[in-house]
């Protein structure tokens, strides 16, 4: 139920500061660590000596040292040393390919031979001085596809986020969904509406009037395995909407990397990239706090929905026009999983 031959966001660099990080990704229990040269590695979290979790260990020279009896394992999974022992014949443990790029650590849980760092998604905003990024991480007990559904159907903002980004005009504007290869795009445009609190604040922050009619847009882009980037913004009405010039609008990109932990839990890396006032760290912090609060509102709903679905496995769900983004994203995922499965069968035959 997961695409395996792909890059998932495993953690942020901050999470690796000082000590190893135990984390399960796509059901693989692993430990991530940064060695003294700064290189990040991911190993199976199981010491071959006595089965202690390597996440309780520490980094020494280029190796991760088990915190129980001191077996040291290199980033490639080979036993490097152990006091008083010859480790040549010790079994290796699995090493997962990793790449650190764009402010995230990416990990590959599929066939290591197929891991190509060049296929890590390109995030233009991540490496440009014209952009600033702030974000956070939530651990949520739900199927990763429920979060994709959530992000590809922003109708829920009217209900779940009524006090910040929701407004009734969202559900009055029918979205349009298109599929382009593996990418799914759901767009919604609202015209001549009053901006809701979050966007009123963003307009003011940009030195723009917040009490005039605006055009608002939401363009959700799903890419496998489970990334959703959403272009969002408002422009003073009649200035071109999405295509308005910078001085008439407030806009940003909502960034969502959804990393499956198990079938029913995720690591949800959320954030916002903006190309105005990128040097303003205080603004980054303020936006991050506001977004964290808003996105936190989804947690209770998603976890309750997940429990409800598990308790009612026989129930079908509706697939309305507003659900098209999630439905199409699931089709892409299913196709890629099937493809991996076929390739594996060929490889094994």
Contacts to a second copy by CB under 8 A: 29, 45-46, 48-53, 56, 65-70, 83-85, 90-91, 149, 153, 155-156, 158-160, 168, 171-172, 174, 300-301, 304-305, 307-309, 311-312, 315, 317-318, 320-323
Residue 52 vs 219, nearer CB to a second copy: 52
Distance in angstroms (rounded) separating the CA atoms of residues 92 and 29: 16
Q: Which is nearer to a second copy, 29 or 102 (CB)?
A: 29
Q: How far is CA 159 from the centre of its chain?
A: 23
H or E element in which residue 293 lies = helix 281-311
The residue ranges of DSSP E strands in 98-149, in sequence order, are 98-101, 104-108, 132-140
Distance CA 106, CA 183 (A): 20
| Nearer Cβ to a second copy (109/251) | 109
Report CA-CA distances (Å) from 204 to 101, 174, 208, 249: 33, 28, 5, 10
Q: Work out how close the CB of 178 gets to a second copy at its nearest, in angstroms, rounded to a whole number.
A: 19
Residue 278 — left, alpha, or beta (φ > 0 → left; ψ -120 to 50 → alpha)?
A: alpha
C-beta of 311: minimal distance to a second copy in Å? 7
Q: How far is CA 223 from the centre of its chain?
A: 11
Q: How far is Cα 103 from Cα 229, in angstroms, rounded to an integer?
A: 16
Residue whose CB is less far from a second copy, 78 or 239: 78
CB of 153 to a second copy, least distance (A): 7
Nearer to a second copy, 160 or 232 (CB): 160
C-beta closer to a second copy: residue 3 or 66: 66
Name which of 33 and 125 has its Cβ closer to a second copy.
33
Strand order in the sheet with 132-140: 132-140, 265-274, 249-262, 227-236, 214-223, 183-193, 176-180
Instruction: State the nearest-atom distance from the C-beta of 210 to a second copy, in Å.
Output: 25
- Spatial CB neighbours of 284, under 8 Å, sequence gap ≥ 6: 132, 133, 134
Residue 274: Cβ within 10 Å count: 24
* Shorter beta-carbon distance to a second copy: residue 223 or 303: 303
Residue 209 DSSP code = -
Q: Which of 344, 333, 347 is nearest to 1 (CA)?
A: 333
The separation between CA 71 and the C-alpha centre of its own chain, rounded to angstroms, equals: 34
- Least separation in angstroms between residue 28's CB and a second copy is 11
Min. distance of Cβ 88 from a second copy in angstroms? 13
DSSP state of 44: E
Shortest Å, Cβ 134 to a second copy? 27
Across-strand partners of 267? 139, 259
What minimum distance in Å lies between the beta carbon of 163 and a second copy? 13
Is 38 or 51 the residue whose CB approaches a second copy more closely? Answer: 51
- Residue 154's SS3 state is helix
- How near is the Cβ of 91 to a second copy at its closest, in Å? 8
């Amino acid at each position: 139920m997961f695409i395996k031959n792909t890059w998932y966001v495993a953690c942020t660099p901050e999470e690796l500061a000082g000590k190893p990080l135990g984390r399960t990704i796509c059901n693989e229990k692993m430990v991530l660590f940064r060695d003294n040269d700064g290189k990040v590695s991911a190993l199976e979290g199981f010491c071959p000596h006595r089965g202690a979790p390597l996440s309780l260990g520490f980094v020494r020279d280029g190796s991760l040292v088990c915190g129980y009896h001191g077996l040291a394992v290199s980033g490639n999974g080979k036993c490097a040393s152990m006091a008083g022992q010859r480790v040549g014949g010790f079994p290796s443990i699995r090493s997962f390919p990793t790449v650190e790029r764009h402010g995230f650590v990416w990990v590959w849980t599929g066939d290591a031979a197929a891991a190509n760092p060049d296929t890590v998604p390109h995030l233009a905003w991540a490496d440009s001085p014209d952009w600033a990024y702030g974000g956070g991480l939530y651990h949520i007990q739900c199927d990763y596809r429920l979060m994709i559904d959530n992000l590809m159907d922003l109708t829920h903002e009217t209900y779940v986020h009524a006090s910040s980004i929701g407004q009734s005009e969202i559900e009055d504007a029918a979205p349009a969904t298109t599929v382009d290869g593996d990418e799914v795009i759901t767009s919604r445009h609202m015209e001549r509406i009053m901006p809701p609190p979050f966007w009123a604040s963003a307009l003011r922050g940009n030195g723009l009037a917040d009490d005039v009619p605006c055009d608002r847009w939401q363009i959700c882009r799903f890419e496998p395995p489970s990334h959703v980037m959403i272009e969002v913004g408002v422009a003073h009405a009649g200035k071109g909407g999405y295509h308005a010039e910078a001085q008439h609008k407030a806009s940003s990109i909502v960034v969502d990397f959804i990393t499956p932990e198990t079938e029913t839990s995720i690591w949800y890396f959320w954030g916002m990239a903006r190309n105005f006032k990128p040097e303003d760290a205080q603004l980054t912090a303020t936006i991050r706090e506001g977004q964290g609060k808003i996105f936190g509102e989804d947690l209770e709903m998603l976890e309750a929905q997940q429990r409800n679905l598990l308790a009612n496995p026989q129930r079908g769900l509706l697939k309305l026009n507003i659900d098209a983004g999630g439905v199409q994203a699931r089709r892409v995922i299913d196709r890629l999983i099937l493809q991996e499965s076929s390739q594996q069968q060929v490889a094994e035959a």
